Amino acid sequence: MSDRRELLKKILGELVENLTQAEIVLKKTLEDIDKKKLIAKITNSEALSWEEMNLIEAFAARFARLSDIFTQKFLRIIDELELVFDGSNIDRLNRAEKRGLIDSTETFMSIRELRNDISHEYKSADVLEVFIHCYKMSEPLLKATKKAVEYSSV
């Protein structure tokens, strides 16, 4: 096996570890959100505490981090290992869907847009809307993360 391929496999192993750790942290944050019933509070337009707002910010950052590791790093390494070197983000997502890593390219395009919303400054009024979307999209992201780990172990 070539030195390049060995290096890619090593990087893949590190990415799988990063995915797993980021998944654990996001799941724990989701548990905290559910315990505090934040979705219901937001839906009912209840005022949120400083602690609850910090939890929302932490969740959004953790969501963005996991989506970055998966879409920008993991999928690229998989492509390289499978000798695919070209294409856009959409092409990479289409290949991920064909590999069975994600259920829908469209869903992951939305996840990528959310990640961009989080990474760029947005109005404070939009924070809760972005949070709700991230919360809804966390299930497909976590499902893809699990599939990615399984795919890597084959």
Instruction: Decide if pLDDT at 99 tops 60.
Output: yes
Instruction: From the options 1.10.10, 1.25.40, 2.60.40, 1.20.120, give the CATH code of 3-152.
Output: 1.20.120
Tell me: pLDDT of 85 over 60.
yes
pLDDT at 91 over 60: yes
> pLDDT-based confidence at 121, cuts 50/70/90?
low
Domain boundaries, the chain: 3-152
Confidence of residue 107 (pLDDT cuts 50, 70, 90): very high
Q: What is the spatial distance between Cα 83 and Cα 78, in angstroms, rounded to a whole number? A: 9
Mean per-residue pLDDT for 33-51?
95
Q: Which one is predicted more confidently, 120 or 128?
A: 128
Q: Mean pLDDT, to the nearest integer, of 58-70?
A: 97
